[in-house]
Structure 1
């Protein structure tokens, strides 16, 4: 199942996610949200419109890493992302 991760390489949580996924040989596409205004807008479209970001926005956080699967499942929780991969 295709997995896309939105994040930033400067983000410690994103780096830890990459390290963990690589150690588990989990395949993913990483989208660096600061590479261009196009990728930033793509991420912000999710952030501005998905309910799962409501608490993140209230806490003035960014909301990365953000995991999105080809079947439409979305999460900000690495454990839920891994669980989804293992069960699908």
Structure 2
């Protein structure tokens, strides 16, 4: 399984997730929104269009890390990815 991780190397939750995914042997494509404008564009597209971000935006959160599974499923719950 390969998962796309949208997050930031400045975010402790993202770093934790990257470590856990590495430990589990899961292949990753890391979209680092703090280091790449194209990756930031991917994140903004998600945040602007995905209903799962409504609660995050209402609470003033950022909503990272976000995980995109090979089948297109999107989640912000690491447990869903590690299953």
| Common fold by TM > 0.5 | yes
**Structure 2 spans left out of the alignment, 5+ residues:** none
CA RMSD between the two structures: 1.1
Partner residue in 1 for 2:15: 15
Partner residue in 2 for 1:67: 67
Deviating beyond 6 angstroms after TM superposition, the runs of 4 or more aligned structure 1 residues are none
Partner residue in 1 for 2:57: 57
Contact 2:9 2:34 in 1 (8 A): no
**Structure 1 spans left out of the alignment, 5+ residues:** 84-88
Partner residue in 2 for 1:79: 79
Give the strand-richer structure, 1 or 2.
Answer: 2
**TM-score normalised to the size of structure 2?**
0.91
Aligned-pair CA distance for 1:36 = 2.6
